[in-house]
Amino acid sequence: MKKSGATQSGLSRRGFLKALAVGGAGLAAPSLALAAPGEASATPGVAADAELVTVLDLSRCIGCGACVEACREANEEKFPEPTKPFPAMSPARRAKPEDWSGRRDIDDRLTPYNWLYIQSVRVRHGGADHTVHIPRRCMHCVNPPCANLCPFGAANKQTNGLTLINDSLCLGGAKCRTVCPWHVPQRQSGVGLYLHLMPRFAGNGVMYKCDRCHQRLDRGEVPACIEQCPEEVQTIGPRREMIAKARELAESMNGFMYGLDENGGTNTIYVSPVPFELLDAAIEQGRGRPHLKGVADVMAEENSAATAALLAPVAGIAAGFLGIGARLLGPGEDGHATQSKEGDDAR
């Protein structure tokens, strides 16, 4: 599982660029490039704009930080430039601004200015010591609670599988951070729409996180973290192919996967030679430093409730055909009155 595995199914940085050349239509039809023939083993039935999955081979990561630096450079123009002083917020005791603008260089956790960072740990497994470096960022869930529960549609899943927060719509309530199983989005106050509404009473800035370099994907390029990685840790490609690749990779190293089933499935799959339970126990966790625990599908119960609601009108119509509630009341009657003349007619 060294060089060859990176391109057999799905696309490494080099393979992706080669596929662009083979396809010959990279920039003209960017989404097609990801499913271009040659490198991507052309799985039948995979739509050109199908959801894209990244696979991270942790056995290859050396923790050099090139991906972190590349992420910052590629997304610098999206970083917040807050207006100061921040508007007063009520109640002041509970609504506090969050300001990272003076700490933009922090790279050991997620912040509005650092959408990717590396957790490095040393663990013992199988009688050997392993140093494992884990690039951490948004997992881009298949059914993302941050997008599903955002009351304003500011967080949205795109048809290519990434979840994007619209910084012109986001009010910075941080609900997305609360409902995210990894609490990934980070808030910067003093920026965004809330400043133009009722900054004292609602909103508190804008939430920021990895958007998988959507502007680069739109141009037919891979995300910057993938392009700049000297070890080709990550590959990106259509979901079906990437899942097959992750399984193959895990099998080849007798390793473990994380992200395939977490929260009902994500579009990020880590493959590690070390069990994730060991990694989770070893990594530093806290605000902006996500865990590696198993995660049940947090939207599962919501989906059941939604299904019930979507079926409810059918039950109502059936009840109507059974004559339930059909009786009409005459003047002066209430719901418990005896059946009226009108009621007889109504039946």
Partner 1 sequence: MRARPYSSWISRLFVVSVAGLAVTGLLQMPLAERYALTEVPGLAWTGDFFLVHRLHSYFAALLLFTAGLAATNWLRAWRDRLALTPLGAARVVILGGLMVSGGLRMYRNLPSVTLEPALVVTIEWVHLGLAVALGGAALAALLRGPSAYARLR
List contacts with partner 1 (CB under 8 A): 51, 91, 94-95, 142-143, 145, 148-149, 151-153, 156-159, 164, 166, 169, 173-175, 178-179, 202, 264, 298-299, 301-303, 305-321, 324-331, 334-336, 342, 345-347
Q: Which residue in the block uniquely carries the two structure tokens 């009621």?
A: 343
Q: Which is nearer to partner 1, 21 or 315 (CB)?
A: 315
Q: Which of 284, 325, 341 lies closest to 110 in space, CA to CA?
A: 284
User: Residue 272 forms beta bridges with which residues?
Assistant: 256
Q: Which of 59, 66, 29, 44 lies closest to 224 in space, CA to CA?
A: 66
Query: Other CB atoms closer than 10 Å to residue 30's CB: what's the count?
Result: 19
Q: Which of 98, 92, 258 lies closest to 181 in space, CA to CA?
A: 258
Q: Which is nearer to partner 1, 21 or 324 (CB)?
A: 324
Residue 313 CB-half CA count within 13 A: 2
In the complex, minimum distance from the CB of residue 118 to partner 1, in angstroms, rounded to a whole number: 30
Distance CA 115, CA 257 (A): 22
In the complex, minimum distance from the CB of residue 91 to partner 1, in angstroms, rounded to a whole number: 7
Distance CA 180, CA 136 (A): 14
Give every CB contact of residue 155 below 8 A, 6+ residues apart in sequence: 144, 146, 147, 163, 164, 165, 166, 170, 176, 185, 207
Residue 92 CB-half CA count within 13 A: 3
In the complex, minimum distance from the CB of residue 155 to partner 1, in angstroms, rounded to a whole number: 10
In the complex, minimum distance from the CB of residue 126 to partner 1, in angstroms, rounded to a whole number: 36
DSSP 174-222: -HHHHHSTT---EEESS-SGGGGS-TTTS--SEEE---TTHHHHHTT--
Q: Which is nearer to partner 1, 287 or 347 (CB)?
A: 347
Give every CB contact of residue 115 below 8 A, 6+ residues apart in sequence: 71, 75, 137, 138, 208, 209, 210, 211
In the complex, minimum distance from the CB of residue 239 to partner 1, in angstroms, rounded to a whole number: 11
In the complex, minimum distance from the CB of residue 300 to partner 1, in angstroms, rounded to a whole number: 9
In the complex, minimum distance from the CB of residue 313 to partner 1, in angstroms, rounded to a whole number: 4
In the complex, minimum distance from the CB of residue 95 to partner 1, in angstroms, rounded to a whole number: 5
